[in-house]
């Protein structure tokens, strides 16, 4: 169905896609198309950055977890961890020079 001429194809725009009615009991009448995965990812990231919320999220690649940054202490802890990581990367770069 998705490859037929029956559905409508529109450019992927998260602001439009997010509010578009969804029916899961039939084929979708509209498909939102991105140029590629990177394009969709960038558009989605830009969209989510504009959503007003009383917190931020921080991804920890070491634990594969996401922490809600809703207190100054959590933000400070994340900044200290980043500072340590940057220090280690700078040392590694100096050792390679």
Dihedral sign, Cα of residue 87, residue 89, residue 94, residue 95: positive
Q: How far is CA 27 from CA 2, 60, 69, in A?
A: 8, 38, 39
Q: Which of 33, 52, 71 is the last residue of a domain?
A: 52
What is the pLDDT, as a whole number, of residue 23? 83
Residues 44 and 67 in one domain: no
Task: Evaluate if residue 22 carries a pLDDT over 90.
Answer: no
- What percentage of the chain exceeds 70 in pLDDT? 100
Looking at the 3D structure of the chain, how many domains does it have? 2
Residue 1 sits in the same domain as residue 41: yes
Q: Span 73-88, mean pLDDT?
A: 93
Which stretches of the chain are DSSP H helices? 14-17, 37-49, 72-96
pLDDT at 2: 86
Q: Residue 72 has what pLDDT? A: 92
- Based on the fold, state whether residues 60 and 44 are members of the same structural domain: no
pLDDT tens digits, one per residue of 25-60: 889 899 999 999 999 999 999 999 898 888 888 888
Q: Is the pLDDT of residue 14 over 90?
A: yes
Q: Write out the residue range of the structural domain in which residue 44 sits.
A: 1-52
């Amino acid at each position: 169905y998705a490859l037929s001429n029956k559905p409508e194809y529109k450019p992927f725009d998260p602001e439009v896609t997010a509010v578009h009615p969804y029916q899961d009991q039939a084929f979708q009448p509209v498909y939102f198309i991105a140029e590629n995965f990177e394009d969709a990812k960038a558009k989605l990231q830009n969209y989510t950055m504009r959503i007003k919320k009383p917190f931020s999220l921080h991804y920890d690649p070491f634990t594969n977890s996401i922490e809600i940054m809703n207190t100054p202490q959590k933000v400070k802890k994340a900044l200290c961890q980043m500072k340590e990581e940057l220090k280690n990367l700078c040392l590694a770069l100096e050792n390679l020079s």
